[in-house]
Amino acid sequence: MDEIKKTGDRIAKVLARAGIASRRAAEKMILDGRVTINGKVISSPALNVISSDKIVVDEIPLPSAETTRLWKYNKPIGLVTTEKDEKGRKTVFDNLPNNLPRVMSIGRLDLNSEGLLLLTNDGELKRTLELPSTGWTRKYRVRVNGVPTPERLNKLKNGITVDGEKFRPMAISIDRQQGANAWLTISIKEGKNREIRRAMSELGFKVNRLIRISYGPFRLEELKSSEVEEIKSSILKSQLGSLLNLQTYEKETPSQIKKIVRRKKKFLPNARNPSQRMSKI
């Protein structure tokens, strides 16, 4: 297994497509010696495999990849977007319905942010949609304390550097002023850590509510807070077909995946299950 095959797909990608973990988590599983191919433990993710290879994770044969699925989830305030929080705070995955398969979040929303969070059972899809090169726009309704003007907001439209970190240009519109607060609509191309909050703070405005209303072509619409809605496969294929070579697999009960998750759950980040509709602003 020391020789890298020239055909097939990288082993981490195959594990991600099978729903075992995200590609990054799959690479760690390989480095931890938890994966064997044709009876031999592998130690490097820089390895290609083909369909005839026998892949085993934690002594359990790799199941066939599940059909790629995608859900919309309206994340409420107060939940952390991580599988397990070191501070013991409640996570998004603690709040999801038990009837969902193992899912991963596409990107994150911080503790005090709410709105659209995409969930998927496909680690490769997660990776693709998080890449800045994918170019998908994230749109937010943002309430700030203060009276913003087009002149002050123009700084963000041209891109801004905060604490040495460069933020890409943002598209911003002022929707309305309500007393001491103003509602804005802000669109960004990549979601750096607390990007909008930090950018607005740099201009002297404090964000007191932030709601993601769309991620690429997928919109929050009338989904209530904590509610989950699966995106139809026909829509998934039409919207993502050009971004990812989505394949349709026969559906099967992912009992082997469940065994792996139960036995090695602490190693699998962002692995769990989603459910409310957003009240009118």
- The residues carrying an active-site annotation are 110
30, containing H or E segment = helix 23-31
- Residue 240, both tokens: 């993502």
Cα separation, 17 vs 34, whole angstroms: 17
Dihedral sign from CA coordinates of 240, 24, 212, 92: positive
Cα separation, 104 vs 209, whole angstroms: 25
Q: Provide the 3-class DSSP secondary structure of residue 254.
A: coil
Check if the beta carbon of residue 213 is closer than 8 Å to that of residue 173.
no
Dihedral sign from CA coordinates of 99, 107, 95, 32: positive
Cα separation, 34 vs 18, whole angstroms: 16
Q: Give one DSSP letter per residue of 203-233, joined into a string.
A: TT-EEEEEEEEEETTEE-TTPBTT-EEEPPH
Sheet strands (E) in 90-227: 104-106, 114-120, 138-145, 160-162, 165-167, 171-178, 181-188, 206-215, 218-219
